[in-house]
Structure 1
Amino acid sequence: MVNRKQSVFEDLIDLTALLPWWAGLLLALISYFLIHPFAVEPVPSATGVKEAGEMVSKNLIRSFAIFGQYLFPAVFLMGTAVSAMSSRKRNRLLATTAETTSQGAIKALSWREFEILVGEVFRCHGYTVQQTAGGADGGVDLELKKNGEKQLVQCKQWRATKVGVTTVRELFGVMAACGAVGAFIVTSGVFTREAKSFAEGRNITLIDGRTLDEMVRLAKRKSTNSSIFSNAAERGFSPPANDAIEAVPDCPACGSPMVKRVARRGNNVGKAFWGCVNFPNCRGTKTV
C-alpha cells in the first residue's frame, strides 16, 4: 500500500507537535501579527499599465494574507494541542509505571509505550529527546541531546530476556556513522557478560530492567518536584533551603541519574554518597 504524501500544513502540525506547547502558541501569535498587516493594507487604484501590474500583485498578496492570517495560527494551534496531549500522555505513562511495584509492568508495555516511557525518563533528566523513524525491530529509536552532544538510544530489545553482544556491536557501528558521542541500550531484561564486556570503554551505557525501574522512579520524583516548585513560584513562593525534597544529581561520568548509597568498605564506611545507577558499568560518584 502506497503511503499518502502529507501536505505542507500536516508537516507544520507534526513539526509544531515536537515543540513545547508554549512554543506552538508563540508561533501562532507571531504568524498572525506578521500576516495581518498585509490583509488590511489598502490596494491603490491603477492609473496605468505599470500600476495595474502592481495592483494585481498586491491583490494576490492581500488575498493570501486574508486567509493566511487565520490559517497559519490555526495550524500552529493544532500542533500545540497535539504537543500538549502528547506531554500529558507521557506524564501519565511515567506516573503509572512508577507507581507499579512489579517489574512485569514494564514488560507488559507495547514497544511504542516503552519507547515513550524511556524518552520521558531521559527528558526528565535534562535531555532533549527526538524520536527517529526506527520501528519495533529497527536500529536507533531515540536521539538525545544535552550540552550540544548527541547520544543514541535503542529500545529494540525491550522484551528480551537477555540482550547479547551482537546488539551492542551494531549500535557501536551506528554511533560512529552518526557522529554520536555515546549511546544507551534499554531493555526490561538483562545483558549477557559478553555484551557488558564489549560496552566497557566505548561510551555505551547498558540499562537493564532493574536499572530502568530505578530510573523511572527517580524521573517521576524529578517531575513531581519540578511541578511543585514551578507552581510555588507562580504563587510567589520559593522552596525553603532545608526542603525535605532532595534533588537527584546526574552522574558526572555518563550523565545518568544517581541513587543514594551507603559505603560498606574503605575509609568512608557507613557514610552516604551518590552512586550512578549504571554501576558497575559506570563508577561515577558524588558526595552527599
Structure 2
Amino acid sequence: MGRRKQSSVFEDLYGIAAALPWWVGVALAIVAYAVLHRYAIAEVPASAAPGQIGQTVVTQMVKALSMYGQYIVPLLLLAGALASWLGRRKRQELVRGVAASQSGDALRQMSWRDFERLVGEAFRMRGYVVAETGGGGADGGIDLRLRKGNELALVQCKQWRAYKVPVTVVRELYGVMAAQGAAQVFVVTSGQFTADARAFTSGRHIELIDGQALTVLVKRARAAAPTGSTARPPAAANAPTHAAEPPKPTEMSPAAVPGCPRCGSAMIQRIAKQGANAGNPFWGCATFPKCRGVRGL
C-alpha cells in the first residue's frame, strides 16, 4: 500500500468542522475569531528591555500570525460547517427518496458513495454514532464505524446491483471484526446474499441486511424520527394517541419483511443457535438485544 498523503493544518481544520454537526463548526468559528482577534490587536512594545528580546520576538510573531489567522481559521471552519450541512441535507434527501420509492429503484440506482451515506444515516436514525471512514473506493474496506455506548460495530456496504454477496466477503469481514475488537458487524447490500453467506453468520455476531430489509429499515427509521412527524398532521389532530400507528402498513413493503411484534422495528433473518429449532431460520428484531421480538418464517 502506498503511504497516505499527510494533510495540512488547513485541511485538518476543514475536515474536523465537516465531520461535526454544522452548528458546532459555526460556534468554533466564532470562538476562533474572538481568540485570535484578541492577539491580533494586542499591543507590542516597539523596543524590548534587556533580557526580554526573545519574548518580544515571539509576541510579534504571534501577533502577525493572528492578524491573518483571525480571518483564515474562521473561514475554514465555516466552510467545513457548510459542507457538514450540505452532507446532512444530502443524506436526508436519500432517505426521503428511498422511503417514497415503491419499487426499490431509488436504492438500486444509487452510486456507491450515496449508498454508504444512506446506510450511515439509517444507523444514525437508529441511535448510533456514525463515523464515515471514506473507505478508499467503492466497497473497499470498512465503510462505517458505529458506536452505541461502549460498543463498536463495523459496517461494510456492498452496492452490487446484479450479484449476490458471497460468503468470502462475510468471512473476510469477520476476520476484521476480530482484529479490531468490534462487538458486531453489519454487511449491507442493495442486492442479496448467497445461502452460504447467510449460513456462515450462524453463531456469530454478524448481521446481513439485503436491499429489501434496508428499504424497510429506512422507512421505519424515518417514520420514528422526529422530523418524520410532519408527514402525519391529520392523524395527530384527530387521534393523538395513535399518530404513530397508521403510516406503518403503507410504509412497509408487502409482508416480505415483517415488523417486530413488540416494538414495530424492521426484522432481519437469523438462524436459531440452540433449542429445538437450532439451525432453522426465523425473523428477529433488528434492534436486538434491546428488543427480543421474533417471528417464525
- What TM-score results when the alignment is normalised by the length of structure 1? 0.79
State the partner residue of 2:212.
210
1:44 is aligned to 2:45: yes
The answer on 1:277 being equivalent to 2:276 is no
Task: State the AA in 2 paired with 1:242.
Answer: T
> Any residues of structure 2 matched to 1:149-228 within 5 Å, and which?
149-223=151-225, 225-226=226-227, 228=229
- Structure 2: gaps of 5 or more residues: 231-238, 248-256, 272-282, 286-291
CA distance in 2, matches of 1:187, 1:98: 17
SS in 2 for 1:125: coil
SS in 2 for 1:46: coil
Displacement of 1:139: 2.3
**Root-mean-square deviation (CA), in Å?**
3.0
In structure 2, the partner of 1:138 is 140
Equivalent position of 2:32 in the other structure? 31
What does residue 255 of structure 1 align with? none
Aligned residue pairs, count: 259
Work out the CA distance in 1 between the residues paired with 2:265 and 2:158: 27
Deviation for aligned residue 1:102: 0.8
Counterparts in 2 of 1:164 and 1:53: CA distance versus 1, 3 Å: closer
1:275 and 1:85 map into 2 onto residues whose CA distance is: 29
Distance (Å, rounded) in 2 between the aligned partners of 1:78 and 1:143: 25
| Runs of 4 or more above 6 Å deviation | none
Aligned to 1:113: 114
CA shift digits 1:111-150 (9 cap, x unpaired):
1111111111111111111122422142211111111211
> What is the match of residue 78 of structure 2?
77
The amino acid of 1:277's aligned partner reads: M
CA, structure 1 residues 187+214, in 2 after alignment: closer, same or farther (shift >3 Å)? same
Instruction: Tell me, yes or no, if the aligned pair for 2:213 and 2:266 is still in contact at 8 Å.
Output: no
Q: Is the 8 A contact 1:184 1:205 kept in 2?
A: yes
Residues 47 and 84 (structure 1), Cα distance of their counterparts in 2 relative to 1, 3 Å cut: closer
Secondary structure of the residue that 2:44 maps to in structure 1?
Answer: coil
Q: Structure 2: how far apart are the matches of 1:280 and 1:47?
A: 76
Q: Does 1:245 align with 2:235?
A: no
Q: Aligned runs of 1:91-110 on 2, under 5 Å?
A: 91-110=92-111
Q: Distance in 2 between matches of 1:194 and 1:3?
A: 36
1 CA distance for matches of 2:32 and 2:119?
34
Give the conservation status (yes or no) of the 8 Å contact 1:31–1:73: yes
Residues 9-50 of structure 1, C-alpha deviations (whole Å, 9 max, x = no match): 122112210110011112112212222221222112425432
Gaps of 5+ in 1: 230-239, 249-257, 263-271
Is residue 112–residue 159 contact of structure 2 (8 Å, CA) maintained in 1?
no
Q: Distance in 2 between matches of 1:3 and 1:280?
A: 39
Aligned counterparts of 2:71 and 2:228: Cα–Cα separation in 1: 33
- Check whether the contact 1:158–1:186 (CA below 8 A) recurs between aligned residues: no
- Secondary structure in structure 1 of the residue aligned to 2:51: helix
